[in-house]
Structure formats: C-alpha cells, structure tokens
Structure 1
Amino acid sequence: MKRGYITILSILVIFTSCVSLQQKAKNHFSTGEYQLAIATFSQLLEKEPDNPEANYYIAESYRLSNRVEKSSPYYEQLLEHEESFENYYYKGKSLKSQGEYDDALKAFEAAKKWTMDDEKVDLADKEIANIKAIASIEPIWPNHKLENYELLNSPGIDYAPVVSENYLYFTSSRGGGGIYTATGQGYTKLFRARAEGIKVDVQNIQAVPEFRNESGLNQGAIAISPDGNTIIYARGNSTSRRDLPDVSLFATYFRGGGFTEPVFMALNEEPTYWNSTPAFSPDGETLYFASNRPDGYGGTDLYKATRLANGDFGNVQNLGPEINTKGNEMFPRPMSNGEFYFASDGHPGFGKLDIFVAKEENGVIKVKNLGPNINSVADDFGIFFTNYPKEGFITSNREGGKGDDDIYFFQDFTPKPKVVNVFLNVVTKGKTEDEKEEILPQTRVALYDENNQTIDGNFSNQNGRLRFQLQPDQTFTMIASKNGYFTKSIPYSTKGKTPSPEELIQDVTNVNLDTTIVLERLVLEKAIVLENIYYDLDKADIRPDAAEELDKLVKILKDNPSIRIELSSHTDARASDAYNDNLSQRRAESAVEYIVSQGIDRDRLEAKGYGKRQLLIENAQNEEEHQVNRRTEFKVIEITD
C-alpha cells in the first residue's frame, strides 16, 4: 500500500508539473514572449514529440517572431494530427523561406483543398504564382556584389544603416542590456560611426549622441532629414506595462544647439498600431513608413505623410495596391529620380523579405525584384545608397552571416569598357599643271557625321598634315577646300577597320588610319576631260556607264556651288562639219539635261558642241587616236561670290 501510494503521488506530481509547464508556456505565448514559449514547449516535446499543442505553439512562435523558416518540422507534426489550410499554408511559407520551392508549391496546392474561403485560396494562389515567377527574376545590376561588413557587425543584431553628414547610423543589439523575450536577442539601441561612402570607422562606434537610448525596449530603424535637423526612429517592445503597447515612431528636433527629447508622433494615430521603418523623401517634405493599421491591404503596408506648417507630419496616405500586397511591405527608400525602393514578402521573391524597386513607366507603376545577387531566401531589407546606384548598404540575415541581422555593403564591379581610339591621319595635296602631286599646306578639312552635323575641322600644317579622332564603326564625310582649288568631299568609314570587342586585350587600344586628299586646281577656261563618256553610234542618249562618270561632275558642282561651267562635246574628224556639229551639240545638251536631273541649277550650265573644230590629234590615223578626239570636257567659265 505504501509503495502504491508513493507511485500514485509521483504520477500526480509529474502531471501537475506538466500542466504547470504547459500553462506557463501558453502565458509566454499570449504575452508575445515567443522565445520563452519555444523554450518551455520544447521541454514538453522532449517527453511527447507529437504533442499537437506544443507543436502548434512552437510553430506559431517561430512564425510570429519572424523565424518562419524554423517552423516547418512543427507544422509537419501538426499535419499528422490535423490537415488544415493554415498548417499547409504556413508549412509552405516555411519551405519557401528555405528555398525548397517544389515542396512549398505542393504545400500551397494542398492548402487550397482544405478551405472554401476565397480569400484564403487567393493567398495560396498568390504564393504559387510568386514561386513560379522566381525563374524569370533577373538581376537589375548584374555586376553588383554584396559583402558582409564583418568588422562592423556584432554577434547579435545589426540592421537599417543610413548615412547622414559623414556618419553611418544603424541599429544594434550590442551592449543593449536585457533580453527581448520575443526573439531571445538583446534589446537594440542606435549607434553611429564616421563614414566616407561605404568605408566606416569601425574602431570608433558610439551610441547616438543626439538623444539618450532607453533601456528595456527596442530602439529601431532611424531616419534623418536631409538638413540633419529632424530625427525620426522606431521605439517599442518595452518591458514596462505602463509604456506604449506596440512599436511607434518618435521624433526629435534640433533646437537651440541640441536635440529635443523624443516625442510620440501624431501620425502613429493609435498606440496599438505598429509603426516603424521611417524614411524621408529627398526634399525632406514627405515621410514614408510602415504600419499595420487596419485600412491596409494586409500585413504591414507602406504609407506616406506630408510635412505640416508646424513641422510635424500628417495627412497619412496608403501607397496603394501597386506597392502594397497581402504580405508585408516595409523599409522604404525614395530616390530623387522617382525610383522607390522597399522590402516586401508579398511580391515575387526568393523567400522572406526581398528588396524591390518601383518606378512609373508610361503612367504605370512597375515593381521589380533587384535580383539574386542582392536578395536571398532570407530577409533582405533596408537598402541605402552612398553612391547611387553603384554602392551602398543593405541588411540581411542570410546564411553565413556573423550574427542574426547583419549589415552588408555592395559595390558595382562592372568591368570598365575597353576603349578604342581611332586616329585618322590626313595628308592634303594639290595637282600641279603637269599633273604631279605636291603637298598642299593650309588646306581646310571639315568633318561631318551621317546627319551632316559638323564633328571637327582644322587646317593642314606646313607639311600638309592634320589628324582627327573618330569613333569606331561610323561613317563620315570629309570636305577639303582651299582658294584656287576645287572643293572636294570624300566619304570615309571606320567600319571594319578596328578590332572587334572580343579581340581587345588592353583597356585602351589606339588605331591609326591614313588617307590622302588631292585637290585639283581651279583655273578659268581650262578644259578638263571627263573620262569614259561614251555614246552609241550616231546617238546622243546618256548610257549608264556615261551616267556614272557624269555623277562625278555632279559631285564637283555640288561641292563647289560658286562655279558655272561649260560642258562641251567633241567628235573625231570623220563625217561632215554640219553632221558633227549637230551630233556634238545634241550630246552636250543631253549631258546637261542629265546633270540638271541630279539637282544642279540649269543656270550654272552651258552646253556646247564643237564638232571636229578642236581636235587634240590632227590627222588621226587609227581608232585609238580618233577616240582621243571624241571626248567630253568641262571648264569653269565663271566663279561667283
């Protein structure tokens, strides 16, 4: 009897102890002490691994303390006892935050089968769509690289960096004093260190001197106005029951040589609302922040408030469904170019919070994930640019960090483009009366692009040389001119004359090209023979091969708009004078008509048929000598100003 009494008593003691432990754990959960609830319920699971109540509270404690990635085994245990939308849905969220996308899809599909609620089905469908969209996410800045700022981070929490007046301000649990029982981490305070861009003086980190960090609560994300005279930060999670029940925004203002005591901001509206992650617009006239107030689209939404006449902020507005989702949006960062950066777990992303950018395009706001080189399956948030968009900071609790939330810096490692310099060396020459070429100094050469816009121009030196720097793979026109010479235009292209980008080895490659421009003397009444102007027997029609040669004369006339010419046609000595005069006149007029058809004013042209009256070879004996006499010439008969 005595032994049996002792056994029964022991069972009663154990049962009473378990009941007491379970109630204690529930009390921790109900007061938001999630880490204590996890620790206490874990003791129960050691004895009863499949205890549904213990698994439920541990799973929810991890989820509600933003550690949903640790909750999947507990939801799995719950599903052994009860299949429900919530258990499948949150299991899917946990799996997604671990990068197990295929299993997460199965969990979300299963969740839909256990509800008739359209809103819940929409939630699952949104998660499914977001996971399927992951494959199409490409990096906005493919050459940006992240690096953990190990010398800045502590073994605890470090997050939300902002730079103001050469100081980096951030939130950290280092030396915070006390444990925040929702996460098991230390309470956070605000710190600063001198910084030049992303280079931080990590040896001299100090608590913010503008106001006093309070003990027994979290001082969270900080925002500093562009002029440095207003500081707004998040404050909450106090251990005192007489303090505010949730996280609220507080403001301190620079007055009379110092900052005022922080005050509760009216835009918080209700003390039971969660308000945090503030950020100023570039002009300081708008404050952006996150809140869970009841008029949102779900979770935490992003809002904006405008500066009032008294310096406070009011007229709070939700940023709308293009930005906000049924998930959580926070950590806004507006930019002066209209881009708006923020963190979200509701837009298509890799796991938990990702960083996104929203920008208006053709009247529509487009939201884009920054990509896998910035975001991870963990929480990524709090972007701040020190040199937009090439460098700055973000916060992440991704695997491999030094503590929980860590501060990372990013830089743009886009390779510098290899440069090809194309130099065109030009030599200007002129023809002498005996058709020899000689250096022609002080010749004006102008360079025009394909749109006939002047690129460059200069005079050749005493050696007839000058140099232009050109672009690869482009077409140009050079126009050379000098008094006493025909102006000449020459097309020139660098296409195919430089190495391809794949062939470039050095950062800078110089390519030298050479060309010579020869100008003809402009002498009044000097006959210039147009070569290869042929006509069919006894005809005056312009043949295609003759048209090609006449086009050269058209070009000379266009290049030299101040000259008038006589275009003459000559025959050989065969046939009668009358016949040859008539034929040569018709041929000269036919050539003039062709030139006019190419855009040359008729008043600049005179047609003259000389027949056989100006033979170059008297008494021609063979066909070759007759051909010399059968010629078409032009000569300048007038130069107008």
Structure 2
Amino acid sequence: MKKLYISILTLLLGTALLPAQTPLEKADWKYEDKNYVDAAAEYEKLVAKINAPEAKAQVMFRLGNCYYHLNDYAHAQQWFQQSVDANATNAELFVNYGDIYTYRGQYEQAIALYRKAENDTAWGKIARLRIQSAQSAPQRKEVFSVLLHMNEKALNSEMGDYGIGYISADKVVFTTSSSLFSGAKDKKTGQGFSRLVAASATENGDWKINSALPEAINSQYNNGSFTYDKVHKVGYFSQCNGYDGKSKSCVLLSTTYDPAVGTWGTPEVLPFCTDGANYAHPAISGDGKTLFFTSDRPGGVGGKDLYKVSRGAAANSWGMPANLGQEINTAANEGFPTIAGDSLFFFSSNGKAGLGGYDIFKAKYNNGNPSKPLPMDIPFNSAGDDFGLIYSAQSRFDGFYCSNRGGGIGNDDIYRFMLDPKYKTIGGYIREEKTGLPVANAKVTLMGTDGSTLTAVTDNTGRFSLSNVNPEAGYKILGSADGYFSASALVKALDLNANTDQSVLLNERNSAQVNLMKITKDEIKLDNIYYEYNKAELTETSKRELNKLVTLLKETPNINIVINSHSDEQGSDKYNLELSQRRAKSVVDFLIENGIEAGRLTSKGWGESNPLNKNATTEEQHAANRRTTFQVTNAQ
C-alpha cells in the first residue's frame, strides 16, 4: 500500500520529487531538444558565470551553435571565435564555423577551419568535402544565358519563404513563416510556424499573394513544401508536429483540389508515414505515378535521404518507399526533390562538392531512376543554401527556386528566373586517360564553326561548363593541362538541337568527355606506320595515321619530340641502321610539311639495336620489332 501511495504521489507531483535541474542542465536539455531560441537565452545567462576553461569553451560552442541553427551568423561567429580562442577542439565547431565563412564567400578562412576537422572520425568526411567545395568554388562562374533573375519580392517576407509548387501556369502554392500568417514562433527556428499560402500571376506577369490555404490543411504548427498532381487533381504537402503540436515527427499528406471549383478536400496522411520517422518535401512526377520525398527513415545512406514510392490504383494507396541509392544520396543530407516533366530530376544536397551549403543538383530521369547528378551553376547555386528549383507548368525556360544567399529580404527567399531559349549551356569532364581521375585546372576551349571561341577552366572534379552556345553551330572542344597531351572532341550541331535540356550534359552521351594522357619520357608507339618495301617513303595509310600526331602537336604546342625508328634483325647491322635513320627523317619531314616547326623535332634511327623481341624467329616477332615511336624530349 505504501508503494502504491508513493507511485500515485509521484504521478501527481511529476518532477517535484526529482532532483532540481541546474541552470546548465536546463540549458543543455533545451539544446538537445533543438529548442535553440530558449537554449541560447539560457546559455547567454550562464556563460559569464562559468570559470572552468573546458566547460566555458563548450558553452561558448553551444551558444554559437544555437545561433548557427537559427541562421544568425553574426552572433554565431562571435561565440564560435570565443570558443576557438578558449582552445576548443570540437570538430563540429570547426565545420560549422567554416560554413559561416563559406556562406560569405571567404573560402580561404573556411578551408583553414575545415582543415582542423578533416581527420576527425565523425566529422572528417564532411570537412574534406567542404574543403573540396571551397577550393573549387572561386573557379565557378555564371554559365546560363539568363534573361531574368530576380528576388520575387511580392512573395517574400522578413522570415522564410520557400517550398513553392505550381498548380497551373498562373497559380502557385508556397510555404511562408511570415508574421502575417502566423503569430506564434517555432523555438527551433526563431521564426513563425510555417503556413501554405496561394499566390497568382497578374495580367502583366507579376505575382501577388492571395490567401493562406484552409485551416483544414494548415495546422497551427509547421506545414510546407507543396506539389500538385494535375492528372489526379491531388496536392501533397508535409506537416510537422501534428495538428495538436504533440508529434515529434513530420508526415506527408494528400488533399484533393479542383482548380475549376477552387475547393480543397480533407487531408489524409500517406499510409507509409506511420513509423515515427520524418517525411518531407514531396514531389510528384508529371504522370502522377511516382512521388519523391526526403526522409530519415531507418536503412538510409546518410542523415536524410531521397526516396520514391509508386502510387496505387485506389485513392491514397501506395507501394513501399525505395531509397534512390548512393548515386544520389550521401552520408550528409539530401532534400527538396523536384521533377521537370518526366526527364529531369532536381534536388539539393549538402553532402556533395558545390559552392557551399545546400546546392542544387540535376540528373536525367530515365526508366524510373536518376542518372549521375551534376551541380547547377551560378546563378542557381551560391555560397548559401539553394534548393527547390521548379520549372513553370508550360516551359523549361522559366520558374522559381529558393535560397538564403546574401542580399535577400528574409531568411529563405523565393527567386524567379527566365532563361534564354536560343542559347544552350554545355558541360562535361576532363579526365586522365589511364586512371579516369579528374584533371583540375585544365583549360577548355570551345571553337565553333560560326567563328566563336569560348573558354573555361575545370574545377576540382574535372567539370567544365560553357554558356551562350549557339545550337546551330558545330563545335570542337579542346582540353589542355600542364603535364598532359592536349586532346579534343567534336560536338555536332545536331547533338545540341536534339537535346531539350537547357544544360546539355555531353559527357553522359560520351560525345564530349575529353581524356588527357600524361606526358612522360617513355616511348609512345605510332600505330600503323608503314613504309615502301626496303625504302623510307611513307605509305598513304601511314600519312593518315601521322595526321593524328600533327593534330596532337598543334594542340600541345609546348612539347618537343624525337622520332625513333627501329628495324627488325634481318639484314646487316649497317643497312638496318641507315634505313631506320632515313625512315625516322621521313616522318619528321612529313610533320614539317604539315605545319610543325622544325625546331621542335629531331629524328633518330636505331637499326636493330633495341628490339622488342631479341633473336626473333617468327614474322609476328619481326613485325613487332619494326616500329616507329616518339618521345617528348622536354618532359618534366
């Protein structure tokens, strides 16, 4: 009876019988619960009272991290720096502090901080990725032919505005944390709880906010990231904390909507969102059959992964979600997937090399699976977080995306863009021929049949992009780099016109990935070099092959070579030596006649002194000994 009395008393009095929390324990509890607003306030009261150096450095770090997660980078930097000055060794501190410098485009300072975390077990992989991004970011430039790029001020507020989706060409739904639609604040973000809001285009093409969606859709807590299935007239969105605010997770919901009538149905939770994991950022395919989303459900590749799930025949019936795999997902986080038609897949990631923060990536979407993704370039990506790119309902040349880049109105802003459909942007990779590894800082020159010349430099991944490409011209892409033979690839006008994508990823079609061969002092055999019997004159077949060497020498003008001619072991030593000398000279003469400077060329006949097969007995062995090679004489 006594035990029962104590148990009931404990339930009635709650934590009153438990030991009181210290102020630091209270602050830490709020921090672990991601209540960054209240945690920051508690740490601010405590930091001056703590004398132990290690404990003080930890509180400074956590205080800075609260502001970091609230996107208050000025205060975050203040406390991060004080934590560093107090000799903190927290790898998360160095990564997050480095992110602030990356956000500001101060890449050298960012790299110095990332270096301090690159060998950490938990944070090392992320730090090394951030270093790679920061090293390549200054080389990136604007590569899209943009007619219009603007902050869509009519849709943006002093808070966060994002998660936009088209219902029709002149109507969108987006997410806002504006105080106009939400009085209460989310203590995890310091902003108002997010609401779904409708907006429409005016006759002159401007946008205006209409109203928030009905309360049956907008809970009192966080709602966001809308996508619309025009085939089945169903909208999908995410909702966090539940309608009563007690849930700790986010789920996906569907609701019917008929644009002709303008009425919304009662939302239903999608059946696979009942396991307590978080589900967000829905994106429906053009045919309404596949839904993409982000989730931290068990069994993923990293923190938050991208998934797809197939729609069943009955209303609100779905299959089992499938992870999009390691080609798309990383050990970090991916989110905000979108689909343009049924062939282009966009998403954002902070686990792939980019310009900083979350970057937008693009992949071709064929046979139900995205191909290897490539980062979008400036202006779509910046040093900040960039996400949620969508094309309009009518074309692939205008649309919206979201970003917290500098110069905006609020936290996350919606940006509007319009591309020039006349011109294309082409991209590809420069790789080392033998290893397939990327060649960074390679010069790429695009020479058009219309007389145009465009240049670019590869980033640390070997990637290049060239804009303002006339789709009616043919092009030659030349790749060159120190220590490599230059090489080129041809791109036909038809290749550009046949591709409906604004950014033609030529390397995916194996037509413009340029492979460079390292320059060494080794002999390189020239295949199919033949001479008239017992003579030094080149055959016509040999001349066609030597034209390839002419091209190589013209494309790599900084090298000098020696032409070596070797004979077989048949005949006298003297005869073979003289014949090989004349044959080597005939190759040099041909190169000079075709525009190669004589000062870059020498010749040497070796006779039978360096056979590949000593004491050859078969014709195959004799043929292998008869060869013409070249060596670079000024190789480093």
TM-score (normalised: structure 1): 0.56
* Residues 1:163 and 2:169 are matched in the alignment: no
With over 3 angstroms needed to count, the CA separation of the structure-2 counterparts of 1:319 and 1:139, relative to structure 1, is farther
Match of 1:32 in 2: 34
With over 3 angstroms needed to count, the CA separation of the structure-2 counterparts of 1:416 and 1:60, relative to structure 1, is closer
Could you tell me whether the CA contact under 8 Å between 1:193 and 1:206 is conserved in 2? yes
TM superposition shift of 1:60: 3.0
d(CA) in 2 for partners of 1:136, 1:361: 31
TM superposition shift of 1:102: 1.3
User: What are the residue-to-residue correspondences of 1:349-368 with 2, within 5 Å?
Assistant: 349-359=354-364, 365-368=371-374
With over 3 angstroms needed to count, the CA separation of the structure-2 counterparts of 1:100 and 1:161, relative to structure 1, is same
With over 3 angstroms needed to count, the CA separation of the structure-2 counterparts of 1:245 and 1:326, relative to structure 1, is same
What are structure 2's unaligned runs of at least 5 residues? 1-19, 425-471, 475-636
d(CA) in 1 for partners of 2:274, 2:70: 24
Per-residue Cα deviation, 1:130-162 (whole angstroms, up to 9, x for no partner)? 323324545452435421111222222211111
Per-residue Cα deviation, 1:473-508 (whole angstroms, up to 9, x for no partner)? 99xxxxxxxxxxxxxxxxxxxxxxxxxxxxxxxxxx
One-letter code aligned to 2:233? N
For residue 229 of structure 1, the aligned residue among 227, 230, 233 is 233
Per-residue Cα deviation, 1:370-420 (whole angstroms, up to 9, x for no partner)? 212222111111111115332111111222212221111112257899xxx
With over 3 angstroms needed to count, the CA separation of the structure-2 counterparts of 1:292 and 1:94, relative to structure 1, is farther
* Residues 1:91 and 2:97 are matched in the alignment: yes
With over 3 angstroms needed to count, the CA separation of the structure-2 counterparts of 1:84 and 1:57, relative to structure 1, is closer
TM superposition shift of 1:365: 2.6
TM superposition shift of 1:26: 2.6
Could you tell me whether the CA contact under 8 Å between 1:193 and 1:200 is conserved in 2? no
Could you tell me whether the CA contact under 8 Å between 2:236 and 2:255 is conserved in 1? yes
TM superposition shift of 1:239: 8.9
Residue 374 of structure 1 aligns to a residue whose secondary structure is: coil
Residue 373 of structure 2 aligns to a residue whose secondary structure is: strand
* Residues 1:205 and 2:207 are matched in the alignment: no
Residue 105 of structure 2 aligns to a residue whose secondary structure is: coil
Match of 1:177 in 2: 183
* Residues 1:102 and 2:105 are matched in the alignment: no
Match of 2:284 in 1: 280
With over 3 angstroms needed to count, the CA separation of the structure-2 counterparts of 1:316 and 1:27, relative to structure 1, is same
TM superposition shift of 1:65: 4.8
For residue 43 of structure 2, the aligned residue among 32, 41, 44 is 41
Could you tell me whether the CA contact under 8 Å between 2:216 and 2:267 is conserved in 1? yes
Per-residue Cα deviation, 1:153-192 (whole angstroms, up to 9, x for no partner)? 2222211111113311111123212111111111111110
For residue 405 of structure 1, the aligned residue among 396, 401, 412 is 412
User: What are the residue-to-residue correspondences of 1:303-318 with 2, within 5 Å?
Assistant: 303-311=307-315, 312-318=317-323
One-letter code aligned to 2:295? S
Could you tell me whether the CA contact under 8 Å between 1:144 and 1:414 is conserved in 2? no
TM superposition shift of 1:349: 1.6
Match of 2:137 in 1: 134
d(CA) in 2 for partners of 1:238, 1:40: 27
Could you tell me whether the CA contact under 8 Å between 1:220 and 1:233 is conserved in 2? yes
TM superposition shift of 1:307: 0.5
Residue 347 of structure 1 aligns to a residue whose secondary structure is: coil
d(CA) in 1 for partners of 2:204, 2:30: 41
Residue 266 of structure 1 aligns to a residue whose secondary structure is: coil
The more displaced of 245-254 and 362-371 is 362-371
What are structure 1's unaligned runs of at least 5 residues? 1-17, 418-471, 475-641
Could you tell me whether the CA contact under 8 Å between 2:388 and 2:402 is conserved in 1? yes
For residue 244 of structure 1, the aligned residue among 244, 247, 253 is 247
Match of 1:391 in 2: 398
Match of 1:342 in 2: 347
What is the total number of aligned residue pairs between the two structures? 396
With over 3 angstroms needed to count, the CA separation of the structure-2 counterparts of 1:200 and 1:296, relative to structure 1, is farther
d(CA) in 2 for partners of 1:63, 1:324: 24
With over 3 angstroms needed to count, the CA separation of the structure-2 counterparts of 1:212 and 1:264, relative to structure 1, is closer
With over 3 angstroms needed to count, the CA separation of the structure-2 counterparts of 1:414 and 1:388, relative to structure 1, is closer
Identity %: 28
For residue 155 of structure 2, the aligned residue among 152, 155, 160 is 152
d(CA) in 2 for partners of 1:201, 1:97: 29
d(CA) in 2 for partners of 1:284, 1:128: 40
Could you tell me whether the CA contact under 8 Å between 1:333 and 1:342 is conserved in 2? yes
User: What are the residue-to-residue correspondences of 1:198-597 with 2, within 5 Å?
Assistant: 199-202=205-208, 205-209=210-214, 211-215=216-220, 217-227=221-231, 229-237=233-241, 240=244, 243-253=246-256, 259-271=264-276, 273-311=277-315, 312-336=317-341, 338-359=343-364, 365-386=371-392, 387-413=394-420
Could you tell me whether the CA contact under 8 Å between 1:210 and 1:259 is conserved in 2? no
Cα RMSD (Å): 3.5
